[in-house]
Amino acid sequence: MTIWEINRDPWLGEFVRLQKNMNNLFSTLNENAPSSELFLKRGRLFPPINVLKDDGNYKILAEIPGVKADEIELSVQGETLTIKGERKPEILGDNVSYHRRERSHGSFQRSISLPEKVDSDKIGANYKNGVLTITLPLDKASGPRRISVSTE
C-alpha cells in the first residue's frame, strides 16, 4: 500500500496512525526491557510502592529512606492497608548554610486497597535499609469455591 492512496481518505489516515502507534508499542515490547518507562505507573503519593504477588502472598515494597522502623504506623482495616509516618528534617546547629537541599521531608499517609481478602492476623512487615516490605498472606477461606450444579 502506498502512502498517497491512504492520504486520500481521512479514515484511512486514522488507521495508519493507529498502525504506527501499535508498531511503536510492539517495538518497545521487543526491546526486552520490562522495566522501561512505558510500564512505570506513576503514583503521586508517598511512599512509592511496588506490589508483587506469588502463591498465596501479596508483597508490598515501599521506599521510605530515613525513617525509624518504630515510627512507621501500619494498620489494616477491612481490605485497606494504611502506611503512615513522618520523615523528620535534619537537626542543624548554628551557622549552617545549605549547598544542596534535595531530600524532602514531612508527613505521609497512604492507603492501599487490597483486591482480595487477606489474613490480617498474619501480616508481616520488615523495614531494612530504608525499604519497607509488607507480606500479606491471602485468606484461604475466602478463595474461590467450586459449586456443583445438580440436575433434577
Partner 1 sequence: MANQEIQVVDKKELSPESAEITRNGVYFTPAVDIFENSNELTVVVDMPGINSEDVEVDLRENILTIIGDTKAEEFQGQELLTEYRTGGYYRTFRVNNLIDHAKIAASMSDGVLTLKLPKSEKAVPRKIPVACD
Provide the binding-site residues for partner 1, judged by CB under 8 A.
Answer: 35, 39-55, 57-59, 63-69, 86-87, 89-90, 92-108, 127, 129-131
Task: Give the H or E element holding residue 7.
Answer: helix 3-7
Taking the complex as a whole, how short is the minimal distance between the CB of residue 131 and partner 1, in angstroms?
5
Taking the complex as a whole, how short is the minimal distance between the CB of residue 118 and partner 1, in angstroms?
13
Give the position of cell 512509592: 48
Taking the complex as a whole, how short is the minimal distance between the CB of residue 138 and partner 1, in angstroms?
12
Question: Distance (Å, rounded) from C-alpha 131 to C-alpha 109?
Answer: 16
> What's the number of CA atoms in the CB half-sphere (13 Å) around residue 115?
7
**Which amino acid type is present at position 68?**
K
Among residues 96 and 149, whose Cβ is nearest to partner 1?
A: 96
Among residues 6 and 76, whose Cβ is nearest to partner 1?
A: 76
